[in-house]
Structure formats: structure tokens, C-alpha cells
A and B are shown apart, each in its own frame.
Chain A
Amino acid sequence: MKTINKTKIVKSTPLLALFFLFATTFMVQSCADLDPDLTEFASPPGSYLSLDDMNSGIIGVYGQVTLAARMTTFYAPAWAGDDMTTHRALNKADFREFDQRAVQSSNNRLLRNWNAIYDAVNAINGVLARSEGLIDAEGINQDVLQIQLGEAYFLRGLLFNQLARVHGRIALPLTQVPPPDISRSSLEEVYTQIESDFLAAEQRLPEVYPGTLPGAPRPNKGSAKAFLARLYMDWGGFPIKDNSKYALAASTAKDVIDNAGTYGFGLVDDLEDLWTVAGRFNQESLFTIAYCKGCPDNSLANRKFSRLGLPADLGGWNETFAEIKFFEDFPEGARKEATYRTDLDYTQFNAQKSPVFKKITGPIGDLNPRDFLTERNDFLMRYAEILLIYAEASGLSGNVTADSWEALNKIRRRAAGLPFDTPDSSVDVITGDIADLAFTERKWEFAGEYVRWFDLVRREKVAEVLGVRDDVAGPIPEHNPIIGSLETSNYLAPIPADAVDRNPNLAN
């Protein structure tokens, strides 16, 4: 009896098993979720729905700008100026190519700067596109939105301007993902785009950015006007040489000067205060990129100062040195003391007998000489420059006024260690070619601030100045002699070969 039952079970097993098989199949069917919810892990970027989104985007843009600017790479072309040089050997060949006027399209700093600037520009274009839906949208504070849009335009103008100063004709991507075969725009188009960005910024930015420290770490209307003024100076000179822009430069600079109090701008009394940690937020900076020490991974630290300016004799990196003739010619006085470490006898260095910039190393005891990560800020433009743009542009546009002379004299007084607001006949000038006087004043005032080379370019003074750069009076010659051409054909840097390989249209 039992056996029969068993047999039955055995015989019916296949059917039963089949049943369970289908049951299993049916059940496990629900095991595979082919449309998992990935928003658990990441929220893909899309159009902004709130000001929080916008804020996160614009802060991210600042992050990209900081990433582009935090290393000397951002300013490597400025090594071509007669104010600064680098070590004659070691791994400084990229800087030497600029210094010696033999820049190759394989120059690594050139490429990295190109890439970093376009990364930031692409990020800005992303923010501009995604925020379109917020404009005039209900429940969105338009005042806040417009200010942040103003920042985006300001930063884009700034970055295009920086790159155009190096390469002349550049590509002008205005969408987050540029066309793959984008080509370079004409010089006119480039300068017009930069102008339009700064104008758009000026329209939207407030007189003072609420809740910020001095020095416009977030730009205001005055910052935008100041960079416009600088743009017009560039525009009036090489390579476009549209002289009509000098009048605009003068009037725009004058506008900033006249409203300096409104924007919170002005000169500091003592130049020595500017290049210190304590003085890193100051009213003289018209736009500051601020750096942080102790922020995560030290990614927001400034990598251009302290060790970089010291010779190996003092544990330094031998990167940013001052040039000898420039140093020797530098007028004695408070400004020279604020510019150089005159306490150091450079002729005794063994690593390289080159003077040291105090602007880079900071005064004794201010920065840790073993640090290359610092919290010193970058002043992308100082109020002193606006005064000198005004003076120079007045001269170049033939509209010199007492105010023009006063602007120049303020700088001369402070340079001599005198109160800048008090006329002093021992230093004041009121006659002569104010354009040339202001140009020369800029030479000393902005030494080591990555400005001089671009001045030489726009005023086509490269051959004149660099031709005698190496004519040093003393026993120690300049270390990296000029080997390349000083003609205008060699003013602008080539487009990086790697960028051209990726997009051959950039060669055109």
C-alpha cells in the first residue's frame, strides 16, 4: 500500500515540480528591477528650480575659477615681462620659454591654462543656461538671481580677457557644451564679447556685494567697470589698436574713481600692508580671489607664494624671481621696500643670484617659508591700476585734466612713503607726457604682479624694453637671456598643440 503511494508521488513529481518551476520563474521575475531609482545616489543636473540650485552652481563656478587661478600656471605668460624671471635650469623650462621669448605650442603651462579657463567658462555657460527658467519666475527673488547672473557674466568676461591677452584670437563658447569644431573668433568679436559680458555684469551687480569682506571677493558694479576700463586700454593697443577706445577707458576709469566710496574701493595707506596675510582683504583690491588654508584637502589654498619666491638657499622652489636690471633700476623708497626682500643679499645666493620679491614671499615672518600652500589672496586688479589707467588713457585720448595728474600723483606719493592724498611737490608731476609717465609708473607699481608683460604688449614696447633687458650694469648678468624674436609676430602665444589636435579648427 505504502509502495503504491510512493510510486504515485514519484510519478506525479514531474508535474508538481513543473508547477513549482513556473512558480519560481514567476517569483524571481520580480527580482530584476530594470528601472532602478538612481536619484537615491545622485541628482542629475538639470534646469534650476530654486535659488539654492543657482547658488550651488555659481559657487561651483567660483571653485573652477579658483582651480584655474591658484597656481602660477595662470600667470605663466607674465614671466615674459622684464620684471620677473625664473631659475636658469631645473624644471622651469615652461616659464623660461616665456622669459626667453621662445614659447612652443608644446608648452605645458600654456595648455593647462587653456584647459582650466575653458573648464570654468563651460561651467559658467551651464549656469547661465540652467537659470533661464528662473528669470521672472514666480517665487524667485529676482534681485538675488540677477546679482548671481551678474557674477557669472563678470567671471566669463574676466576669463576670456585673461586668455585673449595671451593668445589674441580665442574661441568664444557661449553654450555649456561648445560645438566640437568651434573655431577662433576675430579679435573684434573677442573684445566685443568681453565688453558685452562686463556690461551685462555691470547692469546686474550691486554697488556693494552684501555680506562680503573688503576687496570685492564677490564682484560689484565697480569691479565690472574697472575691468571694462582695463579692456578698453587693451583694445586701444596691440593687437587691435583701436585708439578710440582710450577715451572710453578714461571715462570708465573716471566713473570708478568718482564712485569709489560707493563701491568700497580706495588706496590703502601703506603698500606694505597689501602683501600680507593680515591685509589680504583690503579696499584696494577691485576683485579678489580669496584662498583658504585648512579647507578640505587644501584644495582652496594659494600655490603661488612663499616657497615659490625663495631660492633653494632658503629652502625655496626657485620659481618666481625678480630680474636684476629691473631691480637695480627700481627707484629707491617705500615702494621698492614693499616690492623686494631687500634684507636679502641676492648676490650671495648659490642657487641663483636673483633678487627676491617680497610680494611673493611676504615680509619676514608673515608666511611660513616652508609652505607653498598659503592663504594669501590674489588681487586681480588694484585701485592703483584704475588711477593709472585713467592717467594713461587721458593722455592717450588727449583729454588730460588736473584729475588725471592727481590720479598719477597719488601713486607717486604713496610710492615715496608719503600720504597719497596730500599734494607734495617733491614727487608730484604736472607736466610731460602723462601717458608715458603713467606707463612707467605702472612698471614700478605692479612689478611682480604679472602685469608688466601685458603692458609691453599693448603698447608694443617689447623690443624696446626687452632689447635692453639683459644690459645689466653690475657683475651679475641676467640668467635667462632672450633667445626668441621680440617682434610683434612673437607677441602672442601659439594655441596649444594638444588643443589644436583635438579640434583642428582652432588652428584657423
Chain B
Amino acid sequence: MKKRIKELIRKCFLSGLFLLFMGIQYSYAQQTISGVVTDENNQPVPGANIVIKGTTNGTQTDFDGNFNITAAASDVLVISYLGYATKSITIGNQTTINVQLVEDASQLEEVVVIGYGTSKKSDVTGAVAQVTAKSFENQPLTRVEDALQGRAAGVTVAGSGQPGAGMKVRIRGVNSITGSNEPLVVVDGVFGGDLRTINPNNIQSMEVLKDASALAIYGSRGSNGVILVTTKKGSGKAKISIDQFVSFSTVNKRLETLSSAQFAQLENDDFIADPVNDPADAPYTTAEIADFEANPIRYQDLIFQTGITNNTQVSVSGGSDDGVRYFVSGNYIDQTGTQITSKYNRYSFRSNLSKKFNDKFSLAANVTLSREIVTNNQDAFGGGDGSGILRAITWDPTAPVRDSEGNYILRSPREVANNNYNPIRRLELSNDEETTDRLNLTLNAKYNFSDNFSYTLIGSIATQNQSDESYRVEGDFDATGFNNFGYRNFNNTFYQVSNILNWNKEFGKNNFDVTGVYEVQGDRGVTNGYNASDILQTSLYLADETTAENFFNNGNVKSIQSYLGRVQYNYDNFVYLTGSLRIDESSKFTKGNRTGYFPSGALAFNFANKPFIQDSEVFSALKIRTGWGQVGNENIAVGAGDPQRVRNLGAYFGGERLNGDRDTQVGNPDLVWETTTQANVGLDFGFLNNRISGSIDYFNKDTDDLLLRILVPNTRFDKYINAGSVNNRGIDFSLSAGIVQNDNFSWNATFNLSKIKNKVTKLNDPEIDEIQGTVQGIGGAGIFLNSIKIGEPIGSFRGYEYLGTWKTTDNIPVDSDGSPLYQPGDAKFGLDENNNLEFRTLGSGLPEITFGFNNTFTYKNWDLNMFWNGSLGFEVYNQVTGTITGNGGNRSNLSPTVYDSWTPDNETDIPRRFTANVLNSSRWVEKGDFVRLSNLRLGYTFNEGLIKGVSSLQLYASAANLVLITNYSGYDPEVSSTVRSSGNRANPDAGAGIDTGAYPNPTTGTLGLKVTF
């Protein structure tokens, strides 16, 4: 197979190479012209474009505004720079040409990447949000996702405090709870990027495609939105940038649980309350309790630590006269998490090289290499009884980590509270290391047949090699099941070849731009590994000394073949029309069902050039956009059409264990594409010479034939089905303003707001109105916590409605013999007409409103950035508080509410003690609304020339997550728990808003410096 891939790459690139050689041609070498480009204040303009008219031959000015270009005397130089009026100068006999550019506000044209091409911002017809480096370079970031948060309307980002863990980025709501709702990330034209592996400093801009008219070009991959990432290219004089920061992170909040002394006293009270016990035998002495009072044992303090992040990045970039541009960067992150022993390291390297050989031909090669090491990720440990954090919260508060002789206390000495082994010892003795190496190679060759007609070939190959070396101490060395060794290797190879033909032409006021693409992509992933347990060795590489090993392997291969076309037309930069069609064929579907057609159309009117705008002092921009389109989703497992089985635990009859298998999946060969039809109406506006600008969009998304993995009724078999339809509708609003603009002081603010409503509108099976989800609760409960129900948001919480307790005066329902079904003090749940427990919808973890508010103040050399964001209108299923109250692995009630428990004398709404505590009830559903000061940063930029050779020096201090305003009782309502589904870690959307002990978002303080030479 490896051979086959090699062969394929060879074949696919061959043609590209031909083009490369073809393009190397002689140029019309005549004479060298040099000069300086300055602005109105005689300051040099670096990075200005100098192009010979009628060609694409050109150069850029260096940092001091200097340029050199080779041209003939008859040539005309066109000098342009963003925001300045373009100048044309005929060379004649001059060899030195100095140019002074004049600012031109109307020329403030930004270029937007739109997928398989670029467009002027004014020409864009779809809903596209742009986030440029400029907007986030003032925030110390290790993660690209943080740069998106609150900066693009319609984009929600939810993080986890787990170092190196995935963050949840969602565009205009969620469609699915089976497949991932992660948007497609396209890095420099190549599919399948992973935001977490990208160094934010390498990013030039990100474009978020939101509506179908923008997305349809990505067809089957576009249903969750697309983020186009453009990485930096070098230009001008060589520039070295160094960026260094150090951060300190803490989790400050503590959940309310009984203190050591309270817990001990309660145990004593319970003991003494039982008349058979001799009070002299009470578990804790008065002296012990007094000692707990003075020196409480707080496992929440013990499991959290101050995490430290060191981030260093260096980049070298520049360009030369002969058309070479380079950007080389390296980045190293060393991070310790806020949970003890958790760590994250990332080394990454990027090299973007490009050369323009002549007017016709240019070639770019981007290479990225990265290694990530995640140590002691809490999700790598057994999680059936909840996360490690949850275990610590519920561990016996009267048992210290070590006894007086310094030995670990393994289990609660009195077998109370959490019944698992000491959570601190587990982390201190274990070492689980997941190492991921990635290598991406992208080649981009462009050939211009003429000024109007070009061909671009993008070829890419990416490999990912992930190995998980796990040594986990889960138990008692003196008992069975004390440790687990594991090794897992995952290897994935991805390829993509895109052929892009573009033709554009002006006919008077008619402008045409036509793009045609043929593209193939695919990947192959294989996993191999083994598990072993109970070996008295501390090294993974001694695992072969056991007989109890268990090996596993699996793999998959898939591919997509696509044809697409797009026509963009505008008349007089006033009326814009876009139409596109993409045809995708995916190997995931059976032959007859595999082809998907994804059309789109858009119409826009740009009034910017109309007199009422041009002549207005107030209005400066107005554009109306409408679009309609369809995108698809093929988010199902490879082999979803076929039944599947796995090797199960087998059987033992004495002697050798025998292997057996069990079915895991019922095949569904009739699966078809999930299709999302989206309509969008938008308005872009600008006032006061665009000092105030913004846009507002209304969208309506209907997802039909929703792909869903369900459990076949009355079985535990998985099955993928086209379940039904989901509607997402809402409004994206964004407003930017330069509120104050003085010489010394400026205040710029951006506000984004999205309102979205998610609803299941139809289930394809007319017999049912609800499909139960597959998210499992804590403690091995067989109940699933979410559901897909008509009229409710997808993935709504499912459970019993908690109505307090049954009181002695209540009319308690009875059975056929007249015996009461409940006792006074039992939890009272919503019942149906036959007095049976009824499952109801208890809330949804999908926020209705998300917003971001970013403010930047500058005063002389100082700058201050303040970024608020928040989410409103959602609930959290707080399984953590539920577990603290006693359930599953937690044997005792550690909640202070225990004091308010129902008694015959005091009939409260807290159930009688020692009754079963049900986790799947609305008792544990809370409002999640929050507002957070996400970033606060103060920076100082030193005047140029302070240090010789240093062109820029900046120092800053910042704080992330400094203020969190919420009524949520857990650590953080923005939970991203890794929930379990069918025994496996599920995708984060499966458990949106379900808190099973998520790693909390820490508060982080950062000191940093940026230097450019």
C-alpha cells in the first residue's frame, strides 16, 4: 500500500514538474531601475508593489522603501500600496525613480480569500468573516482557536484547560451529534488542517466561510463551515522576529464540598445515631476532628497546581529581487497544566518558500513539521467513574495522600467517599505520553497562459504519526488490576491534488471570473497496539513479560473525487452574481448513493460607487448580499454501510482463554449524503469614511437526512442512519468603530453577536418523535443523557424532571394492591398518566446567544486591549454536583445540601438520606449563562532606534480569563467534557453542555516580549 501511495504521489506530481520546467524561460533583460518609495511624510513605504504594466513581473520595496527592478525603457512601472493611490511611471531613460505615494481612503481595499481563489472584499457576495493577524497579534496566543474567539460573528470557540487538548470551534451552530461539527480547515488550499498544530504567528489571515453561497464550493466538506488559513509569506528586507512569553495559570475556583471536619463529624453523627454502635467506637476522635478543622485536607488543592507555559518563537522572513520570498519559523512551547503531572510540549517548524520565475510561472513550497507531546491527559485514564478531577473532588477528605511514614494511602481507610484509588497517587505514579508527529508538504504551481487565464496545481501530502505510550497505575500493587500498560500507534497518510483553472476578463463594465476545479483527495489510517496489565515493572518496554496481553489493530481508507465550477460576474462593481456547482463522489457511500451535487447562487448590490454614498458625508459603504446554496456532509465512519464486528473478551473454561467475536454494527447500505440548504441575507455598511463599519446577516439552515449513529432499538448495536432534519436559524451581527482617533490616543472597538436557534424539525421514521442519544453518564450507568427529539435542540438533555420530594401529606400513587409506590422523602420525579417515571427534555447545552467585545486603546507608546466574550441561553447538565451528592464511584454524600435532607420533622425538597441519587434528573441541570473577561493586555512599544539594529521592541503583560461572571456552580459553564459513547470517547458535540468533570479553563497571567531585527 505504501508503494501504491508513493506511486500515486509520483504520478500526480509529475505533471506539476513538467509545468515547472516549461515555465523557466528567458526574460527580456534590459536595465536595472532602482528607487525609493515614500509616503506623504517622506517616510519609506516597505512592501509596496512595483509591477511592470501589462505583466505580472514585479517586486516589492524593502523595509527602507528601496526597490530594484529590471525593465525595458518602454515599460511602465505601476507602484501600488494598500491604502494609497496607484501611480504609473514610464521608465524612459531613468535608472533611479523615487516615488511618493498619496493616501487614498477609497483604495482601502482588502483582499479576501474565498476558496480556490481570492476576491476583493468589496466583491464578496457570501457571508465571510475575516480575521487578520493584525487583530490578534496583540494577544499572547499559543492557540489559533483563541484568535478566532469573539472575533468573527457566528463562530463560537470553547476551550478546555487541558494542555494541548482540542478546542471546540463551531460555525453557525451544530448540525450533528454523531459526527464532528468541526469546520473544515483549509491551510493554503489544502484540506484537513488541524488548528491546534498551527503556530498563530505563522498566520496572515483567516477567513471563515459561513453561508452556503461561500461554502458550496467546498461541497460535501462544507456543512460545518470552512476556515481558510493563509500563512505568511516573506517580503522585503530580511526580518528576524523573536517572540517570547511566559504564562502562569491557576484554577482559583473550588467546588463546595464538605470539609474534612464536617465530613468526619457527619460520619460520627451517623455512627452514633445507630443505637447498636458504641459511641466510644466512633470513627473519628474529637482530637482528630479538631485537627481537621485546623488542617483540612483539600484534594481540590492537591490536584491543581500553577501551570507554567514558556513559549518561544523565532521567524525569519524576506524576499529578494529575483522573485524569491521566504518565511521560516520555529516555535517551542513547554507547558505544565493546572492538573498535577499534566504537560504539553510542541515543537513546530514551517518553511514557506516561493519563487516567481517569470510572468508566467511561479512555484511555492510550504513545509511544516511538528511534534506534540501530551503527558497525563486526564482523558487517557479510565473514566467510567468520571474524570480524575471528579475523583479528587469526591475523595475521602479525611485521608491524606500519604500516611505518617510517607507511604501512599491507597484507599479510603474507612471505605467512604470515592471508591477508587487515591487520585493523586495515580497521577504521580503514572506516565501516559501521547506523541504526535506531523509532516505536511504542499506544492503550489501556478502558470499564467495569459493575463486572463491561469492554471494552478496544488499538490499536498501529509503524514501523521501518533504513538501513545501509556503506563498507568490504577490500583493496588497488592491486588489484581493494579496497573495497565498500553501502546498504540496511529499512522495516517493524506494526499490531495487540486487542478484549478481560472479565467477572468473585463468587457467594458462587465467583469467575469470563471473557475473550474478537478480535485482528488484521500487518506489511509492504520492503528496498531497492545494492552497489558499487572506487571511488576515500571517500563512499558517490559510489557512482554506478561501473558495477559491483548493486541489490537484496525484501519481505514477513504477518498473523494470532486469537480467544481464557479462563475462570478459583476456589472460596474455594482451588481454581483455568483453561481457555483460542486460534484463530490465519496468512497464512504455505496455506488448508487455516492455522488452529491451541491449548487449555490448569490446576488449582491454594492452601492459604494453610487452618488448617494459618494456624495454623503455620513455613509461610506453599503452592500446588500443574498445567497442560497447546498452543502453536504459525509461524516460517517468508513464501512458504515457494512455490518461490523470486533473481537470481544472471549471465554475461559479453564486452561487457555479462547477468542470470540461480537457484532458491533448493523450495516446500512442505503445511507445518503446529509444535505444542508442554507439561505442568507446580509447587509454590510460603513459610516464616516468607514470609521464605523459592520454587517448583519440573517441565515436559515435546514439540514436534511441528518447522519446519525444510533443504537438499534432493543440492542447495543450501532447503526448509521439518515435520521431526520435539523434547523438552525439566526443572526450574525458585527460592528467595528474607531471611537477615538487622535494623534496620541485612539480607541478601537469591535462587537460581534450571534443569535442562533437550533431545532430538530423532523425524524425520517414517522413512527417515532425521539431518538435517544448515546452519551453515557458517570458510574457505568446504562442511561444515556441526551436525545434527538422533534421540536427540541439537537442533543437536548434527557432525564427525569425533578420535583423535590414526596411529602407525608402528598397523595402518593399506589400499586394494584394499594401499596404506595414511593415513601415520603423519596425524590419526586415527573410521572406519566400511569404513574410510571417519564423521561423528559431538561435543557440544551447549545447557547442561543454568543458575543465578543474587543477594545483596543493606544496612548502614545502604550496599548491596552480588553476582550470580553460570553454565551447566553443554555444549560449545563452538571454531573459533577450530582456525583458529589453521592453516586457511582462516590459512596458518600459530600454535598453541604446533606444537612437539609428530608426528615419526617423537616420535609425539605432534598431527598431523604441514603436513597438512590439519580444523575439523569433535572436536579442537576443549571443555567450556563456567562460573561468573561477573556483577555486583558497592556503593552509598551519602544521608540525605534532605542537599540541599534532593533527595529521594533515591545513588552507586554496580559491576563486571560480574569473575570468570569456566571451563576453556574461548577468550575466553568463553558464545559468541554470528554464524554463517553458506546464505551469510547465521543466527539465533543455529543456531550455539549454535559459536565462530567471537565478540566477547567484556568486564569492565566502572561509576560512577554516581541523583538524584530
Q: Do B15 and A27 touch across chains, with their CB atoms under 8 A apart?
A: yes
Contacts of B172 on A, CB cut-off 8 Å? Answer: none
Instruction: Select the stretch in A89-97, A234-242, A416-424 that faces chain B.
Output: A89-97
Minimum distance in angstroms from B797 CB to a CB of chain A: 14
A139 within 8 A of B: no
Q: Check A17/B449 contact, CB under 8 A, given A42-B554, A102-B823, A368-B479.
A: yes
Minimum distance in angstroms from A485 CB to a CB of chain B: 3
A451 within 8 A of B: no
Q: Looking at the complex, which one of A67, A94, A123 makes contact with B649 (CB distance below 8 Å)?
A: A67
Minimum distance in angstroms from B295 CB to a CB of chain A: 24
Which of B281, B495, B836 is packed against the most chain A CB atoms within 10 Å? Answer: B836
Which of A9, A16, A502 is packed against the most chain B CB atoms within 10 Å? Answer: A502
Q: Check A177/B415 contact, CB under 8 A, given A477-B276, A484-B819.
A: no
Contacts of A298 on B, CB cut-off 8 Å? Answer: 480-481, 533-534, 548
Q: Looking at the complex, which one of B522, B550, B658 makes contact with A296 (CB distance below 8 Å)?
A: B550
Q: Check A119/B277 contact, CB under 8 A, given A38-B639, A91-B419.
A: no
Minimum distance in angstroms from A361 CB to a CB of chain B: 14
Q: Looking at the complex, which one of B1, B836, B887 makes contact with A105 (CB distance below 8 Å)?
A: B836
B741 within 8 A of A: no
Q: Check A97/B11 contact, CB under 8 A, given A34-B561, A371-B479.
A: no
- Chain A, residues 318-345, CB within 8 Å of chain B (1/0): the string is 1000000000000000000000000000
Q: Do B817 and A489 touch across chains, with their CB atoms under 8 A apart?
A: yes
Contacts of B839 on A, CB cut-off 8 Å? Answer: 497-498, 501
Q: Do A300 and B419 touch across chains, with their CB atoms under 8 A apart?
A: no
Kindly list 20 other residue pairs between chains A and B, CB separation below 8 angstroms, not including A112-B782, A300-B650: A10-B25, A17-B447, A31-B522, A34-B586, A38-B557, A40-B1, A44-B645, A46-B643, A90-B891, A104-B916, A178-B713, A181-B767, A213-B654, A293-B480, A301-B481, A370-B478, A370-B479, A501-B838, A502-B713, A507-B836
Contacts of B518 on A, CB cut-off 8 Å? Answer: 25, 28
A-B CB contact pairs (8 Å), 19 listed: A20-B18, A33-B522, A35-B587, A57-B660, A61-B660, A67-B648, A107-B916, A112-B781, A114-B782, A122-B715, A180-B713, A218-B653, A294-B546, A295-B657, A296-B533, A298-B481, A368-B480, A476-B276, A497-B839
Which residue on chain B has the smallest CB distance to residue A65? B651
Q: How far is the CA of A177 from the CA of B772 in the complex (A)?
A: 17
Which residue on chain A has the smallest CB distance to residue B595? A34
Q: Check A91/B495 contact, CB under 8 A, given A35-B591, A298-B534, A500-B836.
A: no
A409 within 8 A of B: no
Q: Looking at the complex, which one of A114, A371, A507 makes contact with B480 (CB distance below 8 Å)?
A: A371
B330 within 8 A of A: no
Q: Check A25/B499 contact, CB under 8 A, given A20-B19, A36-B557, A290-B654.
A: yes
B501 within 8 A of A: yes
Q: Looking at the complex, which one of B455, B655, B662 makes contact with A17 (CB distance below 8 Å)?
A: B455
Which residue on chain B has the smallest CB distance to residue A500? B836
8 A Cβ contacts from B11-33 to A: 11-12, 14-16, 18-19, 22, 25-26
Q: Do B479 and A106 touch across chains, with their CB atoms under 8 A apart?
A: no
Minimum distance in angstroms from B143 CB to a CB of chain A: 33
Q: Do B783 and A498 touch across chains, with their CB atoms under 8 A apart?
A: yes
Contacts of B555 on A, CB cut-off 8 Å? Answer: 40-41
B661 within 8 A of A: yes
7 nearest CB pairs, A to B:
A59-B660, A485-B819, A60-B660, A296-B550, A62-B651, A24-B15, A312-B415
Contacts of A394 on B, CB cut-off 8 Å? Answer: none
Q: Do A60 and B836 touch across chains, with their CB atoms under 8 A apart?
A: no
Contacts of A171 on B, CB cut-off 8 Å? Answer: 714
Q: Do A97 and B480 touch across chains, with their CB atoms under 8 A apart?
A: no
8 A Cβ contacts from A44-59 to B: 44-46, 56-59
Q: Check A93/B917 contact, CB under 8 A, given A32-B560, A497-B837.
A: yes
Contacts of A232 on B, CB cut-off 8 Å? Answer: none
Which of B411, B522, B558, B714 is packed against the most chain A CB atoms within 10 Å? Answer: B714
A365 within 8 A of B: no
Q: Do A294 and B547 touch across chains, with their CB atoms under 8 A apart?
A: yes
- Chain A, residues 106-128, CB within 8 Å of chain B (1/0): the string is 11100110110011001100100
Minimum distance in angstroms from B273 CB to a CB of chain A: 11
Which residue on chain A has the smallest CB distance to residue B712? A177
Q: How far is the CA of A178 from the CA of B712 in the complex (A)?
A: 9
Q: How far is the CA of A497 from the CA of B829 in the complex (A)?
A: 12
Q: Check A33/B559 contact, CB under 8 A, given A57-B660, A106-B837, A497-B839.
A: yes
Q: Do A41 and B548 touch across chains, with their CB atoms under 8 A apart?
A: no
Q: How far is the CA of A4 from the CA of B798 in the complex (A)?
A: 79
Which residue on chain A has the smallest CB distance to residue B651? A62
A432 within 8 A of B: no
Contacts of B479 on A, CB cut-off 8 Å? Answer: 368, 370-373
8 A Cβ contacts from A154-191 to B: 171, 173, 176-182
Contacts of B531 on A, CB cut-off 8 Å? Answer: 296-297
Which of A13, A40, A182 is packed against the most chain B CB atoms within 10 Å? Answer: A13
Q: Do A21 and B480 touch across chains, with their CB atoms under 8 A apart?
A: no
Q: Check A89/B817 contact, CB under 8 A, given A32-B560, A122-B715.
A: no
Contacts of B823 on A, CB cut-off 8 Å? Answer: 102, 483
A30 within 8 A of B: yes
Q: How far is the CA of A29 from the CA of B642 in the complex (A)?
A: 26
Q: Do B816 and A489 touch across chains, with their CB atoms under 8 A apart?
A: yes
B630 within 8 A of A: no
Q: How far is the CA of A102 from the CA of B819 in the complex (A)?
A: 10
- Chain B, residues 547-579, CB within 8 Å of chain A (1/0): the string is 111100011111111000000000000000000
Contacts of B215 on A, CB cut-off 8 Å? Answer: none
